Amino acid sequence: MVMLGIKLGGDVPFSKVYLHPMIRDAHGRKMSKSLGNVIDPLEVINGISLEGLQKRLEEGNLDPNELATAKAGQVKDFPNGIAECGADALRFVLVSYTSQSDKINLDIQRVVGYRQWCNKLWNAVRFAMSKLPDDYAPPPTINPGTMPFSYAATSVYSWWQYQFCDIFIEAIKPYLAGDNPTFSSERNFAQDALWSWTNESVEHEMDLVESTVRSLRSLRAELLAKQKNERLPAFAFCQNDELAEIMRSCELEILTLAALSSLKVLLSDVDDAPAECAFENVNENLKVYLKVHGTLNAEAERQKIKNKMNEILKQQEKLKKIMNASGYQEKVPSHIQEENATKLAKLLQEFEFFTKESERIESEAQHQQ
């Protein structure tokens, strides 16, 4: 290849060569014809049935006993053969495996998982391109960072799967649906963000939205075992005005992603915590409540609060032990001391909140009796 590149093109065709570790089977055994565990890359790319795999073994020169053992191994590892995964999924899985020392224990199901991710990536790109105008020009300054292959693969996978597809695309669908002039500026921002999302303030807000949605989804899964598609009203109980404003500005996104019927924003200094609701702690400044139909399981809520309080007490004791250690004031850098003091204050604040919640639920339970 190098000689042909120089002869035909006047230069070498590449300047760097990247090597992946030795590929073994899923059990960590070296691939060997005598073991009958060799995986042909083309069979992963194009797919093959179990019968096709075993026919390939029969065409080899394995001893009858070794052939029987190899066939039994294939039946165990590939009962339905190998699904068609494509070259991109195979390449990506090899890149993601490069963090594994000097060998790759190739699990075909992981390749299948990346094939599904590649399909999702394709659908996401197709959705984005369909929402961008024909004359759309992407921002001129995009400077991707550099990192090792395996970390880059993990970062790209996580961002596309859990940020772009699960959060961003779902959140902007209401803005892109129809021609409501109210959403004109939001549509323009969404179109820019579909290409390159670099607004740190918006990313901070979306991180908060994602945490809020995750907590609400957790409550839904806990409360709606048989009616998962039912939309319930929710409340965001905020400790400060800045947080309350973010919740109000992102109301549509939270409604969409958490499948809610309504979201009311409350301020701790002004409003009381909503009654007859299950709650989840998002962070020290934000709690979410979900209104349930019928009677709330007070005992389950009390137990959840008790577990949270026990966990906070353990963290407090650990932190206090560090802060009260001999020589802490003299040896520990001042910024670390400040961070620990802030952590302790947050833990005390959370403990106080859970104490009030426990008293509220106890009071509601007594009124219902």
Provide the sign of the torsion angle of the four alpha carbons 265, 206, 218, 302, taken in this order.
Answer: negative
What single DSSP character describes residue 59?
Answer: T
The pLDDT tens digits of the residues spanning 277-292 come to: 888 889 888 999 988 7
User: How wide is the angle at C-alpha 239 spanned by C-alphas 298 and 343, nearest 5°?
Assistant: 90
Instruction: State residue 144's pLDDT score.
Output: 61
Closest CA to 90 of 166, 27, 33, 153: 153
pLDDT score of 188 more than 80: no
Could you give the CA distance from residue 259 to residue 174 in angstroms, rounded to a whole number?
A: 13
Closest CA to 253 of 135, 358, 128, 169: 169
Average pLDDT of span 194-200: 60
The pLDDT tens digits of the residues spanning 62-97 come to: 888 888 988 998 999 999 999 999 999 998 988 888
Instruction: State residue 151's pLDDT score.
Output: 81
pLDDT score of 271 more than 80: yes
Identity (one letter) of the amino acid at 361? Answer: I
Closest CA to 288 of 245, 219, 236: 236
Answer whether 286's CB lies under 8 Å from 214's CB.
no
Whether the model clears a pTM of 0.85, i.e. scores above it, the answer is: no
Element (H, E) at 275: none
Strands 286-291 and 277-283: antiparallel
Q: Determine the longest span between alpha carbons in the chain, in angstroms.
A: 91
The mean of the pLDDT values for the chain is 84
Instruction: State residue 357's pLDDT score.
Output: 79
Strands 286-291 and 103-105: unpaired
Closest CA to 162 of 198, 211, 126: 211
Element (H, E) at 105: strand 103-105
Instruction: State residue 227's pLDDT score.
Output: 58
The pLDDT tens digits of the residues spanning 242-265 come to: 999 999 988 988 998 888 999 999
Residue with tokens 């065409």: 59
Answer whether 309's CB lies under 8 Å from 354's CB.
yes
Instruction: State residue 243's pLDDT score.
Output: 92
pLDDT score of 178 more than 70: no
| Share above pLDDT 90 across residues of the chain, in percent, rounded to a whole number | 24
In this predicted model, which residue has the larger pLDDT, 168 or 237?
237
Average pLDDT of span 328-341: 89
Could you give the CA distance from residue 305 to residue 302 in angstroms, rounded to a whole number?
A: 5
Residue with tokens 């299948």: 112
Instruction: State residue 181's pLDDT score.
Output: 62
The pLDDT tens digits of the residues spanning 32-50 come to: 887 888 889 999 999 999 9
Could you give the CA distance from residue 34 to residue 61 in angstroms, rounded to a whole number?
A: 8
- Comparing 114-123, 192-201, 320-329, the range with the smallest average pLDDT is 192-201
pLDDT score of 197 more than 60: no
What is the SS3 assignment for 26? coil
Instruction: State residue 162's pLDDT score.
Output: 85
In degrees rounded to 5, what are phi and psi of residue 26? Answer: -65, -20
- Within a 10 A sphere around the Cβ of 93, how many other Cβ atoms? 23
Average pLDDT of span 181-210: 68
Contacts within 8 Å (CB) and 24+ apart, 173-182 = 173/256, 174/252, 174/256, 175/252, 176/131
pLDDT score of 101 more than 90: no
Closest CA to 238 of 229, 250, 230, 246: 246
Kindly indicate the confidence band of residue 226, based on its pLDDT and cuts at 50, 70 and 90: low
The pLDDT tens digits of the residues spanning 343-365 come to: 888 888 888 888 887 887 777 66
Instruction: State residue 234's pLDDT score.
Output: 93
Answer whether 90's CB lies under 8 Å from 39's CB.
no
Could you give the CA distance from residue 114 to residue 116 in angstroms, rounded to a whole number?
A: 5
| CA-to-CA separations, 166 to 27, 213, 256, 334, in angstroms, rounded | 33, 11, 11, 40
What single DSSP character describes residue 15?
Answer: S
What single DSSP character describes residue 239?
Answer: S
Instruction: State residue 330's pLDDT score.
Output: 87
